[in-house]
Every structure is written in structure tokens, then in C-alpha cells.
Structure 1
Amino acid sequence: MQWPVIVSRTVPLSDRRAKLRLESIIWNGLEEIAEQQRRPLRELCDEVNGNRPFGVALNSAIRSYVLDYFRRAERTPNNI
């Protein structure tokens, strides 16, 4: 097993700048989603930030978002 590489990036959100530490595979997935939706990565992160439940860390919310997105896409490949 190859262990994931953690990458830190600072993302501007509507209310602050967030320093996020995520696995490179999560960053890649997030960038792919943003590209498919034709929107900036910061906008996608801002949306996840605005919709995450109280008490859930943004890093965790983004991981869950990416996983859920690709799980749904796998079930319905033409409806991404």
C-alpha cells in the first residue's frame, strides 16, 4: 500500500482564508469536480463550507463531498 501524500493549500472563502491539509488524491478529485462543473475550486470549497453541518471540520466535509460525488457518479455516470 502506498500511503497518501498530504498537501497544504490556502483557499480563499467568502468569510475567511482557510488553510486546508488534504490528501493529494482528494485535491485531485476536488479539482476534477470543479473542472466538470466549470467553476473555480475556491467557489466549490466555499459551497462545501456553507453547507457543512455544525461541528464538522471543513477538511472532513470536503473529503465526504468528494467521496459522495464520485459514488453518485459511479451509479449514474451520465448525470454528473
Structure 2
Amino acid sequence: MHARTDDQGLPLSSVLTGGEASDFGTAPNLLNITCRKPRLFPADKGHDGDVVRQSQFLAGISPVIPPKSNRKRANCSQSPGF
């Protein structure tokens, strides 16, 4: 289960996926749900991909995602905290 919350941590929406499904594809579904545009996109390492990060920046959203241990390219645009 993946959830979208407001700045207070209250759930706005959720997307349910199978246990074997990748986290990578859920970000667009959550962000397309109609509600106020977020400033930050906190997520786990499963969302660490250039496509997800680039789409967030283009939408004016700052991704807060720790890098995967096997990331080949350094993440120069990482948000504070990671």
C-alpha cells in the first residue's frame, strides 16, 4: 500500500499494489490524484530512479529519496536529510 498524505501526515489517498510489484510505478498514480500540489515527495529507496526524480523536479516538487546502494550516478540534487 502506498499513501499520499498532507503536510500533517493525514492520508489523502492510497494506491494498493501486489507484494511483488515495484514501488517505482506508483509515484505517478499518487501524484495524479486531485488535491493540492505537494512541495516535497518523501519516499523510500524503491522510488530512487532518474525518471521519478526528473518528473518531480519538472512538476516543481522536491524529491526526498535516499539513494539506492547500487546507484551508479551520484545524486547531486539530493534534498537535505539524505
- Fold match (TM-score > 0.5): no
TM-score of the superposed pair, with normalisation by structure 1: 0.22
TM-score by length of 2: 0.22
Pick the structure with more helix per residue: 1
